[in-house]
């Protein structure tokens, strides 16, 4: 394997040399700063093909040589046919040689060198394992080099990337936003620009035309414990205050949890409305037909984990022509779980036609609300309400994008170096490398 060394003032310039000389598939072996700039050692992609081909050639040779030796030995040991002596005592002349049957008839096939093949297979596997380990080390070093270079050349961009990650935003979104940051902005201008970009991408419903004002049939869906029943009561109370109890109807599909219906019935009794219980799609359709004259119909659904197989079945029988779904997302849940929730409940982009948007619950309990905002932004969900407490109906608010973004970014300042979850610069570089993919030249 031939190694090539390249030199330059910056890493970008050296990488251009690598790409020109060895191609875009070259592997970076090492990099280090020198007195004159940056030195990078690389190897061409063809070298890896040669490594893969060498063990195969060795194995073919190891298999062919014992087979040839076995054939030669079998020919030498073949017995000759006995001929009686002539009357004068001389030996009979040798008869013409017999045509020997194919070796496959009399001789067993040459044994395959099992031990040699196993050794070569193990060698090949060790080579590949070492190459993978080397790739991981190189990617880590390259990421640290790139991050150090970014910090030096674009300190504001690096700082805001760090702040977004500390606030709970994903590396994908942080990278996408900060790459567009203008280079000539001051720190104050850059922060204002950052808040504006995130706020504009957070789709918030118009406070003057909320769900209660528009009316319709809405099913509140989501995993267990996100606050569907409490949020249903908050929306119902708003409708009763504005339009009266006669304009409101409540339906529950939760017949699994003990006391689940009782909780909603207590709220309904206070508001002066009845609660209808349904257990399947046909019963739901029949109940909705009897409530056709209501301004607002709210369906409190059973809570199931996003990995529960019944989620798809429940979503299927909620798929009525006039029913819109509202997905509840808890701000206290980690981002990876929120991704699974969005996928399981069918809210992944493009947004389905029967989807009215989402409601963020427990925003007051979240240490890093940027996680749930990130999910809402990337999946382009319409944010209808934000819930920040248990009081009915006070703790339900129309979303304010600028306020939510400012609040989420404040958590970056509180997550200082003393936090056990704070990332150091080298760890941050590794995290960004993992999300960016392999570091090829």
Closest by Cα among 80, 67, 5, 61 to 36: 5
Q: What's the CA gap between 178 and 156, in Å, rounded? A: 9
Please indicate, yes or no, whether residues 132 and 49 belong to a single structural domain of this protein. Answer: yes
Q: Which domain holds residue 119?
A: 1-69+114-153
Q: What's the CA gap between 326 and 223, in Å, rounded? A: 12
Closest by Cα among 402, 391, 339, 395 to 363: 395
The three-class DSSP label of residue 29 is strand
pLDDT digits (tens, 9 = 90+) for 326-367: 999 999 988 889 998 988 887 665 566 778 889 999 998 888
Position 3 in a domain? yes
* pTM more than 0.85: no
Which pLDDT score, from 0 to 100, does residue 361 have?
Answer: 92
Position 91 in a domain? no
Residue 126: band (very low, low, confident or very high) from pLDDT cuts 50, 70, 90: confident
CA distances from 292 to 165, 248, 268, 295, 299 (A): 48, 11, 19, 9, 14
The residue with tokens 């300042």 is 413
Residue 33: band (very low, low, confident or very high) from pLDDT cuts 50, 70, 90: confident
Position 170 in a domain? no
Please indicate, yes or no, whether residues 131 and 223 belong to a single structural domain of this protein. Answer: no
Position 94 in a domain? no
pLDDT digits (tens, 9 = 90+) for 271-328: 888 889 888 888 999 999 999 889 999 999 887 777 777 777 777 888 888 899 999 9
Position 201 in a domain? no
Identify the CATH number of the domain in which residue 279 sits: 3.40.50.300
Please indicate, yes or no, whether residues 276 and 142 belong to a single structural domain of this protein. Answer: no
Tell me how many domains the chain contains. Answer: 2
Please indicate, yes or no, whether residues 341 and 211 belong to a single structural domain of this protein. Answer: yes
Residue 73: band (very low, low, confident or very high) from pLDDT cuts 50, 70, 90: very low
Position 175 in a domain? no
Strongest mean pLDDT among 12-16, 44-48, 82-86, 433-437: 12-16
Please indicate, yes or no, whether residues 389 and 300 belong to a single structural domain of this protein. Answer: yes
Position 174 in a domain? no
Position 191 in a domain? no
Closest by Cα among 301, 276, 304 to 218: 301
pLDDT digits (tens, 9 = 90+) for 175-217: 888 888 887 788 888 889 889 999 999 999 887 778 898 999 9
Please indicate, yes or no, whether residues 255 and 361 belong to a single structural domain of this protein. Answer: yes
In this predicted structure, the answer to whether residue 438 has a pLDDT above a threshold of 50 is no
pLDDT digits (tens, 9 = 90+) for 254-274: 766 555 567 788 888 888 888
Sorted by sequence, the CB contacts under 8 Å of residue 279 that are 6+ apart come out as 253, 255
């Amino acid at each position: 394997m031939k190694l090539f060394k390249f030199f330059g003032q910056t890493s970008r310039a050296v990488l251009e040399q690598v790409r020109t000389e060895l191609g875009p598939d070259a592997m970076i072996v090492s990099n280090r700063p020198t007195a004159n700039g940056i030195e990078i050692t690389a190897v061409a992609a063809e070298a890896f093909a040669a490594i893969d081909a060498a063990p195969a050639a060795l194995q073919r040779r190891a298999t062919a040589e014992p087979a040839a030796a076995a054939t030669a030995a079998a020919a030498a040991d073949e017995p000759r046919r006995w001929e009686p002596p002539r009357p004068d005592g001389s030996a009979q002349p040798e008869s013409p040689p017999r045509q020997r049957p194919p070796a496959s008839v009399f001789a067993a096939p040459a044994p395959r060198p099992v031990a040699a093949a196993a050794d070569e297979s193990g060698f090949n596997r060790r080579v590949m394992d070492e190459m993978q380990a080397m790739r991981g080390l190189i990617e880590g070093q390259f990421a640290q080099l790139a991050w150090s270079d970014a910090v030096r050349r674009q300190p504001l961009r690096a700082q805001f990337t760090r702040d977004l990650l500390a606030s709970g935003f994903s590396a994908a979104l942080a990278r996408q936003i900060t790459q567009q940051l203008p280079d000539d902005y001051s720190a104050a201008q850059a922060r204002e620009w950052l808040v504006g970009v995130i706020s504009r991408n957070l789709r918030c419903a118009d406070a003057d035309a909320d769900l209660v004002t528009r009316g319709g049939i809405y099913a509140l869906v989501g995993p267990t414990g996100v606050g569907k029943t409490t949020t249903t009561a908050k929306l119902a109370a708003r409708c009763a205050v504005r339009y009266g109890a006669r304009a409101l109807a409540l339906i529950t599909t939760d017949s699994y949890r003990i006391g689940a219906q009782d909780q909603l019935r207590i709220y309904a009794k206070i508001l002066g409305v009845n609660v209808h219980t349904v257990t399947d799609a046909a019963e739901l359709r029949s109940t909705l037909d009897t409530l056709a004259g209501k301004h607002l119909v709210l369906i409190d659904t059973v809570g199931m984990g996003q990995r529960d197989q019944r989620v798809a079945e429940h979503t299927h029988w909620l798929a009525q022509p006039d029913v819109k779904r509202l997905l509840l997302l808890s701000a206290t849940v980690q981002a990876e779980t929120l991704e699974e929730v969005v996928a399981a409940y069918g809210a992944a982009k493009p947004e389905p036609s029967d989807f009215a948007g989402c409601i963020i619950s427990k925003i007051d309990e979240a240490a890093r609300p940027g996680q749930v905002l990130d999910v809402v932004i990337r999946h382009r969900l319409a944010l209808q309400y934000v819930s920040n407490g248990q009081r009915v109906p006070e703790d339900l608010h129309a979303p304010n994008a600028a306020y939510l973004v400012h609040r989420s970014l404040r958590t970056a300042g509180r997550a200082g170096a003393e936090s056990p979850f704070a990332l150091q610069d080298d760890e941050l570089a590794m995290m960004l490398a993992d999300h960016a993919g392999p570091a090829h030249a």
